[in-house]
Amino acid sequence: MIINEKIIPEVLAVAMSGGADFAEIFAQRSRTNSINYLGGKIDNISDNVISGVGVRAFIGTKTVYASTTDISREGLLRCAESVAAAMGESRKTALSNIVLTPTAVNNAHTVKTYPSDVETKVKADILRSACSAAKEYDSLISQCTGTYLDVDRTILVANTEGLLVTDRKIRTRLIVSAVASRDGENQSGMCGPGAGMGMEFFDTISPEETGKHAARQAITNLKADYCPAGQMTVAIENGFGGVIFHEACGHSLEATQVGVGMSEMCGKLGQKIANEKITAIDDGTIVNGWGSSNIDDEGNPTQRNVLIENGILKNYMIDRLGSRRMGMPMTGNSRRQNYGFEPTSRMTNTFIDNGSDKNEDIIASIEYGLYAKEMGGGSVNPLTGAFNFAVKEGYIVRNGKICEPVRGASLIGTGSQILEDIDMVGQNLATGQGMCGSSSGNVPTDVGQPLIRVSKITVGGR
């Protein structure tokens, strides 16, 4: 029990006493272990317990949120009282009839070995072997940094509709960055697989391969020339390449933006917004997915939501506030980094589905362009749809053949335009793991796609 459940009705009643029509309590306890490797050794170990509560109340579409690390009865009542006081409406007598019905969560994301049952030494050894493999890959590898991470997050959500539910989510990740140096110049490579799994995740990936992958990329970049600048046809590979949809379109489909008219996708439901080859899905139910959970941070079950089907906009990603603003049902997308953040609609595992084009045809169709084998992060302005993201590993394509590597490229454009310009969609769907930062903090999100072709996009280079 992460807070005393007996006092929840009282806390909710106090939160309602400012004239609210709905109140919710979110409690969290997480244990986070991260181990960092640098300079051929374990450089530091972080071991943190995150514990706190957030209380939220609504009147219509107005919200008040208060959070605290003081989880004593007095602390929680003080937190609820501050919510009621800030509502600023005429005070009502506290409700006395809030009845909570505990709801059991059917755990779809089985964990075999909990990180808390495994000694730190075992975790450190996983990281060591990954980083050593990177360092030994090539004599040009001058440095390797790495992070082992496990998060064990338990949440409780209760609200004045009678909901009382708890969930526990485990996630694990290994990130290796390698640096290759020559003649006073550095280039880097990175690989960072993760999953909503326990320690068994490290049996499904090879730490050594993760290290080698990062090293190979650093060496490739060291031997590459700068990417030329200008507009060209670009093929973007599967996996983390899906960041293109996440930035170019995903954020613009979040109720956070749509509900207040701050998205270029407002009012376009049922309209054709993308090339008919595009079907895009946000699915928080993928078993052991990096962005999955049984329930969202408002206690609603996660769902598989088809966002775009054959180019037609089918749905947005909607939290409770967004649901009230937009008059549409919630979609199980409400997320927050921790109790300190008011939740909002966020992506979970978001991807472009497999299409009908053969991968070899996509490359063969490009006379001159860029093959973006691996992508880095990016950002977007949802109002205008203007987005950017970095290419971590790229190659020039000439006469339908992948040729020499190029480095330092970025891709920019606008969401509505690129959705039309994705004119070939391949068949090797895969996902990649990232952390997405937005108003409710950093949350783990999966991105994904098969190989796609963008007929024309601005490539930043020099």
Partner 1 sequence: MNFEKAREILISAAKAAELTEYEIYYIQSESVAAETLKDEISSFSSSVEGGISFRCISNGKMGYASSELFEKEEMEALVKRAISNAENMDGDDVPEIFRGSESYPKPTHKAPADISAATLKEVALELQKKTYGESEYVADGTQSGAFVSKMDVALSNSYGLELRNTLGTCGSYVQAVINRNGEAESEFKLCEGFEGEKYDSMSKRAVEGALEKLGATEVDSGKYDIVFSAKEMKSMLSTFSSVFSGKMAHEGLSLLAGKVGEKIAADCITIVDDPMREGSSMQTSFDGEGVATYRKNVIENGVLKTLLYDLATAKKVGVVSTGNGHRGSYTSPVSIAPYNFYIKGGEKTREELMAGVEKGIYITELKGLHAGANAVTGDFSIESAGFLIENGKLGRAVKSFTVAGNFFEMLRSIEDISSNVDFSFGSLTSFGSPDALVRNMSVAGK
- Binding to partner 1 (CB under 8 A): which residues in 215-234? 226-227, 229-231
CB of 201 to partner 1, least distance (A): 20
Q: From residue 398 to residue 437, what is the string marking binding to partner 1 with x (rule CB under 8 A)?
A: ---------xxxx-xxx-----------------------
Alpha carbons 98 and 160: distance in angstroms, whole number: 6
Asked if 305 and 280 count as a contact pair (C-beta separation under 8 A), the reply is no
From 99-107, 184-192, 307-315, 441-449, give the range in contact with partner 1 by CB under 8 A: 184-192
From 160-168, 207-215, 326-334, 374-382, give the range in contact with partner 1 by CB under 8 A: 374-382
- Taking CB under 8 A as the criterion, the residue among 4, 21, 69, 89 binding partner 1 is 69
Alpha carbons 126 and 232: distance in angstroms, whole number: 41
Contact between 42 and partner 1 per CB under 8 A: yes
CB of 282 to partner 1, least distance (A): 21
Sign of CA dihedral 378, 337, 444, 277: negative
Q: Which is nearer to partner 1, 107 or 379 (CB)?
A: 379
Q: Which residue bears the tokens 């970049």?
A: 221
Q: Which is nearer to partner 1, 63 or 305 (CB)?
A: 63
Q: Which is nearer to partner 1, 122 or 364 (CB)?
A: 122
CB of 97 to partner 1, least distance (A): 27
CB of 277 to partner 1, least distance (A): 24
CB of 152 to partner 1, least distance (A): 14
CB of 252 to partner 1, least distance (A): 12
Q: How many residues bind partner 1 (CB under 8 A)?
A: 80
Would you tell me the crossing angle of helices 120-136 and 207-222 to the nearest 10 degrees? 30
Q: Strand 401-407 and strand 225-226: pairing?
A: parallel
Q: From residue 333 to residue 352, what is the string marking binding to partner 1 with x (rule CB under 8 A)?
A: -------x-x----------
Our CA angle for 376, 151, 434, nearest 5°, is: 15
Alpha carbons 219 and 216: distance in angstroms, whole number: 5
Contact between 49 and partner 1 per CB under 8 A: yes
Our CA angle for 313, 319, 323, nearest 5°, is: 75
Backbone angles phi, psi at 197, to 5 degrees: -130, 170
Contact between 82 and partner 1 per CB under 8 A: yes
Restricting to residues 248-267, name those near partner 1 by CB under 8 A. 260-262, 264
CB proximity list for 412: less than 8 A, separation 6 or greater: 386, 387, 388, 457, 458, 460
- Taking CB under 8 A as the criterion, the residue among 11, 15, 66, 76 binding partner 1 is 66
- Taking CB under 8 A as the criterion, the residue among 1, 21, 45, 110 binding partner 1 is 45
Q: Which helix (H) or strand (E) holds 125?
A: helix 120-136
User: What phi-psi label fits residue 92: left (phi over 0), alpha (psi between -120 and 50 degrees) or beta?
Assistant: beta
- Taking CB under 8 A as the criterion, the residue among 38, 94, 108, 328 binding partner 1 is 38
Q: Which is nearer to partner 1, 189 or 426 (CB)?
A: 189
Contact between 18 and partner 1 per CB under 8 A: no
CB proximity list for 83: less than 8 A, separation 6 or greater: 14, 15, 18, 20, 23, 55, 56, 57, 64, 65, 66
CB proximity list for 456: less than 8 A, separation 6 or greater: 231, 232, 233, 421
Q: Which is nearer to partner 1, 102 or 261 (CB)?
A: 261
Contact between 39 and partner 1 per CB under 8 A: yes
Burial class (CB in 10 A: 0-12, 13-18, 19+), 456: middle
Contact between 86 and partner 1 per CB under 8 A: yes
CB of 454 to partner 1, least distance (A): 15
Restricting to residues 282-321, name those near partner 1 by CB under 8 A. none
- Taking CB under 8 A as the criterion, the residue among 8, 11, 15, 67 binding partner 1 is 67
* SS3 at position 131: helix
Please, which residues bridge with residue 59 across strands? 62
From 38-46, 104-112, 292-300, 352-360, give the range in contact with partner 1 by CB under 8 A: 38-46
Q: Which amino acid is at 410?
A: S
Backbone angles phi, psi at 18, to 5 degrees: -90, 15
Q: Which is nearer to partner 1, 179 or 313 (CB)?
A: 179
CB of 278 to partner 1, least distance (A): 22
Q: Which is nearer to partner 1, 227 or 278 (CB)?
A: 227
Alpha carbons 372 and 409: distance in angstroms, whole number: 9
Restricting to residues 122-181, name those near partner 1 by CB under 8 A. 124, 142-143, 145, 179, 181
* SS3 at position 192: coil
- Taking CB under 8 A as the criterion, the residue among 100, 108, 306, 386 binding partner 1 is 386
Sign of CA dihedral 304, 305, 310, 311: negative
Contact between 438 and partner 1 per CB under 8 A: no
